[in-house]
Amino acid sequence: MEFGTPELGGIGGGSARKHMIFLQKKDQRWYHDARFANEQEAWIDVRQGFLDAFTAVEEGIVPFVDEITALRSGPSLTAKALYAYFPDRLLPVYGRDHVHHFISLLSEEDPSKLERFEALERLKSLIDGTGHFAGWHTDEIARFLYWWANPRQGSAIVKIAPGAQAKFWDECQEGGYICVGWDDVGDLTAFTSEDEFQEAFRAHYSDEYNGSQSKMTVKARELWRLTQLQPGDRVVANKGTRQILAVGTVTETGYAWREEREEQRHTVSVDWDLSYAQALAEPEKRWGVVTVADVPARLWRTIRSSKTATVDREDTVEPEAVTLEDPQLSALAGALQRKGQAVLFGPPGTGKTFTSLRFAVWWLSQQLGMKLGAEFDYGSPTFKQELARLAARGQRPAGHLTQVTFHPAYGYEDFIEGFRPVEDGGAGLRLSLVDGVFKRICRAAENDPGRPYLLLIDEINRGDMPKIFGELITLLELDKRGVTVVLPQSGQDFSVPSNVYVLGTMNTADRSIRLLDSALRRRFAFVELLPDPAVLEGFTVGKLHLADLLRELNLRVLKELGRERQIGHSFFLTAGGPVTDESALAAVIRNDVLPLLQEYAYDDYSMLARFLGPDIVDDVGHRLHDLNDEELVDALYAELQVDVAE
């Protein structure tokens, strides 16, 4: 059902729990509902559940399947089984979010309150009601829907090396797959969750990575990434840091454990396109130390343009544009869809403002039917032009994108409405009731239903949020959208339209989310951004590997102060990428990292010494040693990368 029947639609990826009952390879024990003493009892229950489901669909009461307790833990498998028996009653669309996505596009309804099979029935009725698909098979309809409005906002593009120096490339090319190692952990589909897989990975590879928890976490994530690849995603096969062998498109089979292979049994099935083969002008240093890595947009553009140049003129076909999927942006989109408002929170330097602006351009452009084009790089001229276009008000009270920054003096009068001094025709100033930024956004959204209006609030926790939002905090809830209240100052009726969205950023070093007003926490979705050493992988300053530096430093901060006060990766990034020389790194340490650590430690120099070592911090004299740039980098290497050096 998962890998052998792609013509019935895909349910691949994720963990094995979707199968409800299965034999776990790691210990040869059966996984099943804990209510039952053994797999036989569990199977009797599941089998009866399927029989009841088949009867319900045959009798035309598809929503009844939602009430069958035995099948609750395997909705995708249940839906695919029902489609196999009744392809005329259901569509082969198995992801809940995908079903909701299509319902939203085909109607004015809010599908979030629909149960899984209730939503499937509703989608089928909407399709039938259009009258456009008479005579179409449901498989054809599903393929059309995904072509017309794919719920996945973009495609993932990853590079995967087929063994050291592309040792297994010939086998991969001939077999139509890409392969990686770490075989000792076994078939990834046998794990019930990523956490269980991570635990098994550490057990098998602790010696290989010298017990480094951070290293094992990074490598485990590389391997688990294979299970997340979906049909249509791209795989760039590389040899070393410069050579690209081919680009493959992931097929319906996706991840597969190939027992017949002697080694590197983890595979992903792809259709290879050898016309992408090329040598990069500049090496991708990170590729020298990672097996699986996301391909950034700038590199994908280079790969595509080089492919075009290698094809004969009469056969030249511009490769189709691919919008890269970003898991962070997708997570934010889901949070806004679910709650209507969200907060990006995390330690300093984790890219919260960067991510919020990228999200605004990516999400609003797609929602408004605008083409992003190829140059979707933060800070590029095209990116800035898109920001300006989205923020333009024209004749409206507000543009589709509005940015504000909260601070201690920001109040209800700025946000909703209040009396302000205004020019009185040359007679001086007079007090007048003026609409605040949020009120203007809501007015614009009321007059433009169906099109999104997004408010970005930077440093949202620096303002007194209960005071700023006032009585309107209740109106933010999705089920309260459209409900009217009377504003106390103007006496006007006011409501928050359903097409208004709020995204805030919050620095957890200033204030933990635990300290936020509970009413606010309930009404916002919270998406965490943590330091990402992966963006620094492969980059060194002298002997100092930046990714290892950040990992080890944050392990020490975690031990002393917790996750909310870690050091973000963006401190080590410049406009052109990671810092590359000793003077630049020393400046980052002196001007950015050290002051932050001093603030965290409240001038406790013994704690600072535990962070950076005695060669940098004199805990007795309560001062920092006077080191030049080279000496500072050498001291960091000796203190924070001892294990690596050994």
Residue 367 has pLDDT above 90, yes or no: no
Contact 301, 309 (CB under 8 A): no
Q: Are residues 300 and 353 in the same domain?
A: no
Q: Phi/psi class of residue 126: alpha, beta or left (left: φ > 0; alpha: ψ in -120 to 50)?
A: alpha
Q: What is the pLDDT of residues 469-501, one digit of tens each?
A: 887 888 888 888 888 888 888 888 888 998 999
| Boundary-marking domain end, from 498, 528, 558 | 528
CATH number, residue 161? 3.10.590
pLDDT band at 313 (very low <50, low <70, confident <90, very high): very low
Residue identified by tokens 């339209």 is 497
Q: Are residues 188 and 232 in the same domain?
A: yes
| Boundary-marking domain end, from 288, 315, 342 | 315
Query: What pLDDT does 13 receive?
Result: 62
Residue span of the structural domain in which 280 resides: 157-315
Cα 474 to Cα 483: distance, rounded to the nearest angstrom: 10
Q: Is residue 322 part of a domain?
A: no
Q: Is residue 94 part of a domain?
A: yes
The model scores a pTM over 0.85 = no
Residue 588 has pLDDT above 60, yes or no: yes
Q: Are residues 289 and 189 in the same domain?
A: yes
Q: Are residues 440 and 304 in the same domain?
A: no
The two three-digit tokens of residue 235, written as one number: 């795989």
CATH number, residue 429? 3.40.50.300
* Strand partners of residue 246: 237
Residue 188 has pLDDT above 80, yes or no: yes
Residue 40 has pLDDT above 70, yes or no: yes
| Boundary-marking domain end, from 89, 113, 148 | 148
Q: Is residue 180 part of a domain?
A: yes
Q: Are residues 118 and 162 in the same domain?
A: no
The answer for residues whose C-beta is within 8 angstroms of residue 578's C-beta and 6 or more apart is 535, 536, 539, 546, 572
Cα 237 to Cα 591: distance, rounded to the nearest angstrom: 40
Q: Are residues 116 and 165 in the same domain?
A: no
Q: What is the pLDDT of residues 196-234, one digit of tens each?
A: 888 889 889 888 888 777 778 888 889 998 988 888 889
Contact 535, 552 (CB under 8 A): no
Q: State which amino acid sits at residue 190.
A: A
Report the SS3 class of residue 515: helix
Number of domains making up the chain: 4
Q: Would you give the DSSP letter of residue 590?
A: I
pLDDT band at 536 (very low <50, low <70, confident <90, very high): confident
Least-confidence region, from 179-183, 243-247, 266-270, 310-314:
310-314
Higher confidence at residue 9 or residue 235?
235
Exposure string over 170-187, b if 16+ CB within 10 A, otherwise e: ebbbebebbbbebbebbb
Strand intervals (E) in 566-630: 573-574, 577-578, 617-618, 623-624
Q: Is residue 435 part of a domain?
A: yes
Residue 174 has pLDDT above 70, yes or no: yes
Q: Are residues 282 and 411 in the same domain?
A: no
Query: What pLDDT does 177 receive?
Result: 94
